Amino acid sequence: MREDKIGIAVIGIGSWGKNYVRIFSKHPQCRLVFVCDPNRDTWHFAKQQVPDVKTTVDFEEILSCDDVDAIVLATPASLHHKLALQSLKKNKHILIEKPIAFSYQEVCSIANASGDCVVMPSYVLGFHHGFLKFLSIVQSPDFGTIQWIETFRTQWGKVRNVENVLYSFAPHDLFMLSVLLKELPLSVSAFGSAVILPQRIDSAHAHFTWNNNICADVCVSWISLYKQRTIKVGSNTKLVCLDFLKNTIRISSYPKHNETVHESDFVNEEILLKESKPLDIQCDFFIRCILQQIPPPITIDTACHVAMMLEKTQQAMMLEKTITFHSCND
Q: What is the pLDDT of residues 98-122, one digit of tens each?
A: 999 999 999 999 999 999 999 999 9
Name which of 84, 74, 145 is nearest 117 in CA terms: 84
Q: Which residue type sits at 137?
A: I
pLDDT value, residue 67: 97
Kindly state whether residues 22 and 140 are assigned to the same domain: no
- Give pLDDT, residue 257: 58
Nearest-5° angle of CA 156, CA 99, CA 314? 80
Of 150, 151, 152, 148, nearest to 215 (Cα)?
A: 148
DSSP 264: G
The dihedral region occupied by 213, where left means phi > 0, alpha psi between -120 and 50, and beta the remainder, is: left
Residue 259's identity, in one-letter code, is E
Q: Looking at the chain, which runs of residues are DSSP E strands?
A: 6-11, 30-36, 54-56, 70-73, 93-96, 119-121, 148-156, 187-193, 203-209, 215-221, 223-234, 238-243, 248-253, 267-272, 323-324
SS3 for 129? Answer: helix
In this structure, are 118 and 130 located in the same domain? no
Residue 304: inside a domain: no
- Domain residue limits at 102: 6-122+279-297
Q: How many residues are there in the chain?
A: 330
Q: Can you give the CATH number for the domain in which 64 is found?
A: 3.40.50.720
pLDDT on residue 256: 65
Same domain? For 130 and 150 the reply is yes
Residues 103 and 195 in one domain: no
What is the count of structural domains for the chain? 2
Q: pLDDT value at position 258?
A: 55
> pLDDT value at position 328?
45
Task: Name the CA dihedral angle for 237, 243, 244, 246, rounded to a multiple of 10 degrees.
Answer: -140
Alpha-carbon Rg for the chain, nearest whole angstrom, is 21
> For the CA atoms of 276, 279, 284, 288, what is the dihedral angle to 10 degrees?
120
117 and 166 both lie in a single domain: no
71 and 109 both lie in a single domain: yes
- Shared domain for 320 and 179, answered yes or no, is yes
Furthest-apart CA atoms within the chain: distance in Å: 68
Residues of the chain with pLDDT under 70: 1-3, 256-261, 263, 327-330
pLDDT in tens, 184-218: 999 999 999 999 988 899 999 999 999 999 999 99
Q: In what order do the strands lie in the sheet with 54-56?
A: 54-56, 30-36, 6-11, 70-73, 93-96, 119-121
Residues 185 and 287 in one domain: no
Residue 256 lies in a domain: yes
Asked whether residue 259 is domain-assigned, the answer is yes
On whether both 252 and 187 belong to a single domain, the answer is yes
What's the pLDDT score for residue 110? 98
Angle at 108 between CA 103 and CA 111, to 5 degrees: 135
Half-sphere exposure of 112 (CA within 13 A, CB side): 7
Order of strands, sheet of 203-209, starting from the edge strand that comes earlier in the sequence = 267-272, 248-253, 238-243, 223-234, 148-156, 215-221, 203-209, 187-193, 323-324
| 319 and 291 fall within a common domain | no
Residues 71, 24 share a domain: yes
Indicate left, alpha or beta for 315 from its phi (over 0: left) and psi (-120 to 50: alpha).
alpha
Sign of CA dihedral 122, 128, 131, 133: positive
How many whole angstroms from its chain centre is CA 62?
26
Q: Are residues 161 and 29 in the same domain?
A: no
Centre a 10 Å sphere on the Cβ of residue 9 and count the other Cβ atoms it contains: 27
